[in-house]
Amino acid sequence: MQTVEETPQPIPAKIKGHIPKWINGNLLRNGPGKFEFGEEKFNHWFDGMALLHQFQLENGTVTYRSKFLQSSSYLTNSQHNRIVVSEFGTLAMPDPCKSVFGRFMSRFEMPRKKAGSTYNIIQVPPQKSNCSDTLEGAKVLCSITPMDKLKPSYYHSFGMSENYIIFIEQPIKLNLLQIITSKLRGKAISEGISWEPQYNTCFHVVNKHTGEVLPGQWYSKPFVTFHQINAFEDNGCVVLDLCCQDDGTTLATYKLQNLRRSGEGLDQVYDSISRAFPRRFVLPLNVNSDTPVGKNLNPLSYTLARAVKDADGKVWCTHENLHPEGFDKVGGLEFPQINYSRYNGRRYRYFYGCGFRHLVGDSLIKVDVETKSFKIWQEDGSYPSEPVFVPVPNATAEDSGVILSVVVSPTENQSAFLLVLDAETFRELGRAEVAVQMPYGFHGIFTSH
Ligand SMILES: [Fe+2]
């Protein structure tokens, strides 16, 4: 994870194989690309300054450009040539009374309760194209009360089906007293975060239209999730597919001093963390005092996930693995993506992700959740990014389209390429190479012309 230069002017990519002419649009990606200002360095991978990448595909050709997001953190740090804005894992000294959280919190009228915290889900309406305020009209849709108000959970994303939001309260705890006093104690925010598996993981379900938090209580053994695969409703249940880890110490592992180790040191870091695997949970929504205790309440024949009401009225959920036996040979699976435009919030069959045999993804995987079979793409020394599905125009099959992924090969001449796979067969159609050093990034989106 080294700092790279931006490429503000579009440069043409060298095509090998072929890029289908029907793909017209931009693959936009983000990820950290600058890890120090002057002599001062960030500590955590999530702290790096956001670098935006654009691969423009048009009629079989590809161009690339990139630019650092001109955020207030970037501009302030650049102006001072040192880190003056605290980030997740880096404490700035002295901090000019601004932080990521502070800027966001000041935007909303939060329902304030004494000495405590709530999870707020914020609804943002579509913005008018000429509007510079990207949060205009945003409002708090609902507030969820944490199990422990002084120790709310860290979260990275939430699930959404047609009518419900599923918020997962996982036992990565934010110790508010430690975080509030972190500056006084000279500690970064991330040091107030701890994995506390004595707590179970809890699912909160919210009606998306009314903001009502459903009264049911759904629990499972402790796990951690960063990314949702999909969620949909069937026969009075929410089916929720997630990438899950059994151990929540991963966040601390992604410190830059760990990622910059090499050889055996890096292997030791990777071996120390728990891998993410795709899992399915089923949450029966209509549970009341008449619901029998001790019986599996999952009516869906196509999934082995279980949900059983306990004597105290809580529903204990046990997952089904969405992968076959022996899948752990390809490592974990993260950065899940689906045919989003047609299957988000609907029953679906395929998802795509990065296989992790290292700290960053080293393969691309397509999983069939019905047969539990999978297809894989990998090449030695290549690290592919989150696979983005682009459907063929007028497609009828769920997997009729291509997968776009940016592949970095740090050991080979510092170049990168945009890989295009046939999403059905998972075979390579072509690649577009650019002689530009890119860091391993996080997420991307394709926007059509
Ligand atoms: Fe993410």
pLDDT, one tens digit per residue, over 131-163 is 777 788 889 999 999 999 889 999 999 999 999
Is pLDDT larger for residue 87 or for residue 210?
210
pLDDT at 102 over 70: no
- pLDDT (0 to 100) of residue 94: 44
321-332 core/surface letters (b: 16 or more CB in 10 A; e: else)? ebbeeebeebbb
pLDDT, one tens digit per residue, over 30-83 is 988 888 898 888 887 778 899 999 999 999 999 999 999 998 889 999 999 998
pLDDT at 256 over 70: no
- pLDDT (0 to 100) of residue 359: 72
CA distances from 337 to 203, 251, 345, 414, 443 (A): 22, 21, 13, 27, 10
Share of the chain above pLDDT 90, in %: 62
Q: Give the closest residue to 219 by CA, choosing from 237, 206, 201.
A: 201
Token digits of residue 131: 């509007």
Ligand 1 centroid–CA 441 distance in Å is 10
Which amino acid type is present at position 248?
A: G
Contact 73, 49 (CB under 8 A): yes
Ligand 1 centroid–CA 47 distance in Å is 13
Average pLDDT of the segment spanning 212-239: 96
Ligand 1 centroid–CA 314 distance in Å is 30
Whole-angstrom distance, CA of residue 399 vs CA of residue 424: 5
Share of the chain above pLDDT 70, in %: 88
pLDDT at 15 over 50: yes
Give me the half-sphere count of Cα atoms (radius 13 Å) on the Cβ side of residue 195. 16
Across the chain, what does the average pLDDT equal? 88
| Distance in Å from the first CA to the final CA of the chain | 32
Token digits of residue 246: 């059994």
Ligand 1 centroid–CA 156 distance in Å is 6
- pLDDT (0 to 100) of residue 100: 44
Whole-angstrom distance, CA of residue 155 vs CA of residue 160: 15
pLDDT, one tens digit per residue, over 262-306 is 667 766 766 767 789 999 999 999 999 999 999 999 999 999 999
What number of H helices and E strands is found in the chain? 8, 32
Is pLDDT larger for residue 183 or for residue 210?
210
Question: 315-318 and 218-220: which strand pairing?
Answer: parallel
Residue 171's pLDDT band, with cuts at 50, 70 and 90, is: very high
- pLDDT (0 to 100) of residue 187: 81
Token digits of residue 399: 């997997």
400 Cβ contact list (under 8 Å, min separation 6):
391, 392, 423, 424
How would you class 449 by CB atoms within 10 Å of its CB: exposed for 0-12, middle for 13-18, buried for 19 or more? Answer: exposed
Whole-angstrom distance, CA of residue 147 vs CA of residue 174: 12
Bridge partners, 403 (sequence order): 389, 421
- pLDDT (0 to 100) of residue 331: 82
| Residue whose tokens read 């990606």 | 29
List, as one string, the DSSP characters of 88-120.
Answer: TTB--SS--S-BHHHHHHTTS-----TT---EE
Token digits of residue 10: 């579009």
Ligand 1 centroid–CA 226 distance in Å is 6
Whole-angstrom distance, CA of residue 425 vs CA of residue 381: 23
State the Rg of the chain over Cα: 22
Whether cis (ω within 30° of 0) applies to the bond prior to 126 is: no
Ligand 1 centroid–CA 286 distance in Å is 31
Residue 249's pLDDT band, with cuts at 50, 70 and 90, is: confident
Average pLDDT of the segment spanning 157-180: 93
Average pLDDT of the segment spanning 330-358: 93
pLDDT at 96 over 80: no
- pLDDT (0 to 100) of residue 263: 67
- pLDDT (0 to 100) of residue 161: 97
Whole-angstrom distance, CA of residue 239 vs CA of residue 336: 16
Average pLDDT of the segment spanning 366-391: 94
Residue 404's pLDDT band, with cuts at 50, 70 and 90, is: very high
Ligand 1 centroid–CA 308 distance in Å is 31
Whole-angstrom distance, CA of residue 342 vs CA of residue 116: 40
Ligand 1 centroid–CA 288 distance in Å is 35
Average pLDDT of the segment spanning 116-142: 85
Ligand 1 centroid–CA 355 distance in Å is 15
Whole-angstrom distance, CA of residue 390 vs CA of residue 276: 25
Residue 129's pLDDT band, with cuts at 50, 70 and 90, is: confident
